[in-house]
Structures are given as structure tokens and as C-alpha cells.
Amino acid sequence: MTSQIRQLFGTDGIRGVAGEFPLTAESTFLIGRALGHDLVKTKPEPRVVIGQDTRESSRWIADRVALGLSSCQVEVRSAGVITTPGVAYLARSQKFDAGVVISASHNPWTDNGIKVFSGNGFKLPDSHELAIEQEIFAILQAPGAHPEPSSKPLPTLPGEHSLRTDYIQWLAKNVSTDLSCLRVLVDCANGAAAAEAPELFRACRIQAEFICSSPDGKNINEDCGALYPAGVAKKIATSSGKFDLGVTFDGDADRALFSDASGRVVNGDGVLLLAARDLHARGILRADTVVATTMSNMGLEIALRNSGIRMLRANVGDKYVLEEMMKTGATLGGEQSGHIIFRDGEATTGDGLLTALRVMDIMARSGRSLAELISDLKVFPQRIQNIRVREKIPFDQVPDVKRAIEAAQRELNGDGRIVVRYSGTEALARVMVEAESEEKMNAMTDGIAGAIKKALGT
């Protein structure tokens, strides 16, 4: 981790409101140029693959970043609308020097972002993002010295269908079990999954019904997808046994949440539990270890321990989960939000489509339902509250907030957890409290959130 603070890159790339800095027409061109400068320093004739989600702004931002890259003599190939992990896969499998994704993941359609992968398919380390950020600011200070080229690359849409097909075929090869017995309701969040999920599920002969798979540029994540898993769960609960499970992706499909056949939501903690046990039983859960984050429920830690599996906690953000996995050699890690990373194969980042296939593969091989696979996961009451803030001052430097957190920790006395942190992608503070009783949980959450709102709220 770098000691310097990045101003543009958060926990998942550069993100903001489309059309406002740093995502204006001028700045996105110059960001592309800065990325190009970074590549040509070390790579002769570098090649980049670019992809995007379904937001209205993704097309023009992708075109502007591609123009900036090509102005540095970087070859740019577009996969069009594709999932974020799809770009990561293409970057490493086709030996590109970098992959760029235009997406704001689960954020509303008015937002957008720029994510960067290295040629090996991994997200850039913080130190490299900081170096690129310094390059960006240097170029932004002298935009006139970086004129736009007269010749422009091809538009990024529709992109090369063959690139998307390569990704779908790789995903399908990850399945060796007959999944044709499974009946699945799939929510594509009107996002990138709508471009790949139907073709993938057909290739795997899964009986799938798709909803929220008609993106119009403005309906991505709108009351659907992984932010609203209860939507699919409710449809399944009222379907009279029509489905075995439900799957919900987020806007760029790097994560997935599930519903069991009764309409109960299963989050990333449940997926980590069933996947860890499966890998452990097959002798391929390296070091008998799973990497989760500070947000994962204590119930997961207890259930894993009862199965002889150790759980480590990383900072929130799938890149930090992956860093801990690489450090410890763990083959499985993930977040409660549905980012699951499988390192027993070739994946280098969380992939919602791959996660869905792995869950269905475990169900089909075991002959057990999703509910049965996690039946002993006893979840501590947990509440997460978001507070919009005007600035992100360290909490230990805000006396009233510090006192509220310390008082709650003393009251818990080890029988629960408190995590208070800032979002890496939005101007939000997040308060998470786990306690043995809902009454205590709610009182502590309200107390800490109230202190933050009074001191730092908008």
C-alpha cells in the first residue's frame, strides 16, 4: 500500500458523474493519453483491449479514452459491451498489455468510471495507480501540449463479437457437470451481463429465464440486479416451485448474489461457505484458508471454523481480497457483496458469471439444494447504514464519532463486531454493526451513524 493518497483512483478505478470532472470529454481523452504514456514507457507497440457496460455515457467515454490511447500509438481493440471480468480475461488470454473497462458497476446510470487491468489480468496495485494519476495531473495541467489527433480509431461499439465469444467459451469450459437439470431465474441488472449471460447459459444447457435484460442506457441497476436481490427472491417465492435458484448480477457483472428455491437471499458469505467446503472436500483449498473482508458476518467465520477452515479478513475491496490471497496462497476469497475470486483456475478477479456457474456446479454434483448447502450458516444480526458525508476525515480525528465507536465497542465486549469506514467509490460513510440482539445492534448503529451525520453529514 502506498502512503500517498490517490485523488482520482478509488477502490475500483476512477469514478464520478459522467460529464463532470474527471469524466468530461476533455479529461477522458487526456486520461487515455496518460494511460498510453504509461504503457509506451515499458512496452514496444503496446496493445489494449477496451470494454464497456450499458450506460448511455459509456460509449462516448470509451471512444474518448480509446482516442487518447491511440494518440500515443497504442493499438486499441474493443470488445464492445462486456463484463468487467471479461476484459480481465481477454487482457491475459490474448496477451494484451492492458485492459480498460468503462463502468461504474452498481452505481446509477448517471455515474461512470474507468477501471484498468494490467496485461496479466489483475487490477493495478495502488502504487501503480498513483503513478498513472500523477501522469494524468501532469497532462491535465498542460492540455494544449496534447492536441487530439486528426485521425480517429474505429468507434468502440459494437466492438468485436469474436472477443466476447472467446470469453463465453472460456466460461463454458469451466463447467464439467451437466447443469441441464437446473431451473434458474436470472436478473441481468440491464447491464453488461445482458450481453453474455443468455448465450453462456444456453451453451451450458441451463434452463434459464432472464429478466432486466433489455438495457436502454438509463435503466442499468434501476430497482434490479445485485443491489436489489429481494426482487428475484420474491419472484421465486411466488413461482410455485418453478425455479431451483435465482441469480442477480450487478451492472458490470463482476459479482453475483443468489436466491434459494424458497425465495431467501444468499449473499457472498453463503457462497464462500459452500465453495470453501467443496474445495476443501476435494483437497484443493490451499492452506485450508478463505479470505473474506471486515464486512463478512461472524456466522461465516464460525461455520468455516466448524469445517476446519480458517478465515482471514482483508480490507473491503476485491483488489485487497486478491492481494491477501496472493500473499497467503489462498485459492478462495470474496466479499459479502458477491465478489468471489476463485484462484484454483485462471480467474484473476471477481466474476459474477463464473460464480454463478460454480454455485450451480456444486449443486448439481452434490445433488443438494442451495438452502441445504448453507443450512448451518447462523447469521448474527447485522445492519449496515450509509451516511452521506461532505468530507472524509479519519474517524479518530472526529471526537464525537470516536467516542460513539469506543462506547459501542465497550458495550459489545467481544460479542459482536463494529466496522466504520468510508466508501472507496462514493461520498459515504458506512457503519456496520453485528450483535447478538437486534435491539442492541440497532441502538449502536443509530448512535454511531447519528454522530457521523452531526459531525460530517451533508
Catalytic residue numbers?
Answer: 105
**Coil, helix or strand at residue 235:** helix
Other beta carbons less than 10 A from residue 367's beta carbon: 8
What are the DSSP calls for 296-362, one per residue?
S-HHHHHHHHHTT-EEEEE-SSHHHHHHHHHHHT-SEEE-TTS-EEE-SSS--S--HHHHHHHHHHH
Separation of alpha carbons 148 and 143, rounded Å: 10
**Contact present, 348 and 326 (Cβ < 8 Å):** no
Which residue has 476443501 as its cell numbers?
Answer: 280
Report residue 9 as a C-alpha cell: 483512483
Residue 262 CA, chain-centre distance (Å), reads: 26
- Where are the strands (E) in 189-229, listed by range? 207-211
CB 101 within 8 A of CB 44: no
Cα separation, 182 vs 344, in Å, equals: 24
User: For residues 418 and 348, what is the distance between their CA atoms, to the nearest angstrom?
Assistant: 30
Say how many residues make up the chain. 458
- Report how far apart, in Å, the C-alpha atoms of 203 and of each of 76, 157, 173, 245, 357 are: 29, 24, 10, 19, 12
Strand partners, 112: 16
Residue 233 in grid coordinates: 427472491
Please report which helix (H) or strand (E) contains residue 91, including its range: helix 84-93
**Hey, what's the cell of 364?**
448439481
Q: Which of 359, 369, 419, 425 is nearest to 392 (CA)?
A: 425
| Other residues' Cβ atoms within 10 Å of the Cβ of residue 308 | 10
Helix (H, G, I), strand (E, B) or coil at 102: strand
- Provide the grid cell at 143: 492540455
How do 75-81 and 207-211 pair as beta strands? unpaired
- Give CA–CA dist 56/216, Å, rounded: 8
Instruction: Let me know: does 346 contact 277? Beta carbons within 8 Å.
Output: no
Rounded-to-integer distance, Cα 252 and Cα 86, Å: 10
